[in-house]
Structure 1
Amino acid sequence: HCDGIKGDYTMSLNQSIATITSPLTKQCFITTPIFYANGEPHLGHAYSGIIADIFHRFSLLLGAESRLITGTDEHGQKIANTALSREQSTQEFVDTTSKTFRTLWPQLGVEPDVFIRTTAEDHKAHIQDLWI
């Protein structure tokens, strides 16, 4: 969600420096899906992350306060079954899978501000504050 980013955009090149301006630039909250951690990242994950990062960087160029958030969803029967088939605990499996997702982004030049893990204690606390 971007609050206030609308209207015409202009871009000017001055001695190889690009300047992009827009009226009413304020704040952007950009997310990828939280990726289901039942297997290795694939091209679809990379695509989502790259597109989100492009929009994040463009928003920053417009002068917006922008945050890019991504992460992994580490709950579900499919994850438990995959962990069991690999003779790992569910937590061991999602720790490994989540690390793979986290290390993917720098390899692609994607720079998220926040990486969420649904098994992280801080995430659990935020969700409980929201829903309980």
Structure 2
Amino acid sequence: MADTDSFDRLAFDVFSRECPSRSTLEHVTGRWGGLTLGALYEESLRFNELRRRVDGVSEKMLSQTLHALERDGLVLREAQPVNPPRVDYELTPFGREVAEKLLGLIHCVEGRMDEVLAARSRYDEARGGR
């Protein structure tokens, strides 16, 4: 296990190819990572509840996404000792902070979609009506 004191001395730069923050940023901003964090912001969810909430994600991709987010310390997986087994997923404090910022971006994009659709239409018209 790495010495956490050595991490305190590191300067992280996401623009550097070797920086470990780059993979975390990819997990957070990837299609399924951002949607998963956003879905978990309001409440903890079971796997299938989360899969229904994040419409279009496959079971395999959601599982991979949750593993990556859990490894990065954004999501907490809590297995309940009941029969049948129950597993809940919730955000850690760090995950809540990241999800809050992502939701700000999501709301910004959703609120400006009329402009986006108009820009797309102009772009396509200027290039021969794609």
What TM-score, normalized by structure 1, do the two folds share? 0.28
User: Does 1 or 2 have the higher relative contact order (CA < 8 Å, sep 6+)?
Assistant: 1
TM-score (structure 2 length as normaliser): 0.29
